[in-house]
Amino acid sequence: MTHPESAPRSLLYVPGSNARALEKASGLAADMLIIDLEDAVPADRKDEARAAMRAAVMAGFSGKRVAVRVNATGTAEQAADIDALADLTLDAVVLPKVDAPTDLGPVRGLGLPVLAMIETPAAIYAARDIGADPAVAGLIAGLNDLAHELKLPDGMDRSAMSHAIQAIVLAARAAGVWALDGVYNAIDNVAGFAGEAAEGRRLGFDGKSLIHPSQINPCNAAFAPSAREIAAAEALVAAATGGAQRHDGRMIEDMHVAAARALLARR
Ligand SMILES: CC(C)(COP(=O)(O)OP(=O)(O)OC[C@H]1O[C@@H](n2cnc3c(N)ncnc32)[C@H](O)[C@@H]1OP(=O)(O)O)[C@@H](O)C(=O)NCCC(=O)NCCSC(=O)C[C@H](O)C(=O)O
Ligand SMILES: [Mg+2]
């Protein structure tokens, strides 16, 4: 069981091959950094990215939570990625393209919480078992890959993936692990990002993965309770007497009090 209160609201991917981004990352307000060794890194720069990742992690990121995304199980690069993590202090390892709990095998020895990426049709059907694996602390939606696997004509059309997106939240909740939304590619579309982040929260995600520094503040705002929500939760908790009762024009019961307390814990 992973406590939702401790879930990162914002998880910024930082390509291991981008020296400027690695340097800039410690000053950014993301709740977690994910140094990427997978898709952001060109095939001919993997060694360089691993070395840069190691140097950056050893130098530290100003107390920020840090994870590394290794290459997927079954790829030629994964063993070298895992070797490169062996003696580092990290908060999590991100494993892409987890289709079944057996894919977790190679990273188990690291003894780190695993954030498992759900990004194929097979993974959607296995998400419940993946989330329930004791090594797993959270599920991250990998919607670029999922859209590709589904052969969607319009690429990242979330409405065409709504069943899959909800399956990820359901699996995470059933297992008691974090539910983390996918990335938004249109980095210059500020309103579009805000809308998608708000939708992610409405769907039940705890936080969202990001690709650009400009997405961090809107993401943190979207996944933090608003002043209006805090005031409403405080009033609800103060008014609660137990069992069913009328409050502010609606019925509330114990689960509403629990939800209000959980929201207040995320202030
Ligand atoms: C998307 C980008 C390639 C855009 O790059 P660019 O146009 O060069 O960015 P800017 O010029 O606007 O950058 C402004 C400054 O911010 C720094 N920066 C940019 N991105 C990051 C970052 N991710 N982390 C830290 N710092 C960053 C730049 O260095 C500039 O700094 P300064 O010099 O001070 O002005 C680029 O943003 C990028 O590479 N993003 C990350 C891409 C990535 O990691 N992709 C892989 C993960 S997404 C994925 O795979 C999801 C999943 O698997 C799925 O299937 O969906
Ligand atoms: Mg992916």
CATH 3.20.20.60 residue spans of the chain:
4-224
pTM: 0.96
Which amino acid, residue 72?
A
**Ligand 1 atom closest to residue 117's alpha carbon, by position in its atom list:** 53
Binding residues: 69, 119, 145
> What are 222-253's pLDDT values in tens digits?
999 999 999 999 999 999 999 999 999 999 99
Nearest CA to ligand 1 atom 34: 24
**67 within 8 A of 88, measured Cβ to Cβ:** no
> What are 165-211's pLDDT values in tens digits?
999 999 999 999 999 999 999 999 999 999 999 999 999 999 999 99
Low-confidence ranges of the chain (pLDDT < 70): 1-5
Nearest CA to ligand 1 atom 10: 212
ipTM above threshold 0.90: yes
143 within ligand 1 shell (Cβ under 6 A) = yes
Superfamily (CATH H level) for 4-224: Phosphoenolpyruvate-binding domains (3.20.20.60)
Please give the distance, rounded to the nearest whole angstrom, from the Cα atom of residue 125 to the centre of ligand 1. Answer: 31
The residue ranges of DSSP E strands in the chain, in sequence order, are 10-15, 32-36, 65-69, 92-95, 114-118, 136-141, 178-181, 207-210, 245-247, 250-252
State how far the Cα of 130 lies from the Cα of 108, in Å rounded to an integer.
13
Confidence (pLDDT) at 50: 98
Confidence (pLDDT) at 1: 56
Q: How many helices (H) and strands (E) does the chain have?
A: 11, 10
**215 within 8 A of 184, measured Cβ to Cβ:** yes
Residue 221's φ and ψ, nearest 5 degrees, are: -65, -40
Confidence (pLDDT) at 267: 85
List, in order, residues 6 or more apart from 50 with CB less than 8 Å away: 16, 37, 80, 81, 84
Nearest CA to ligand 1 atom 18: 21
- Supply the DSSP symbol for 91: S
List, in order, residues 6 or more apart from 197 with CB less than 8 Å away: 181, 184, 208, 215, 218, 219, 222, 223
Between CA 5 and CA 8, with CA 7 as vertex, the angle to 5 degrees is 130
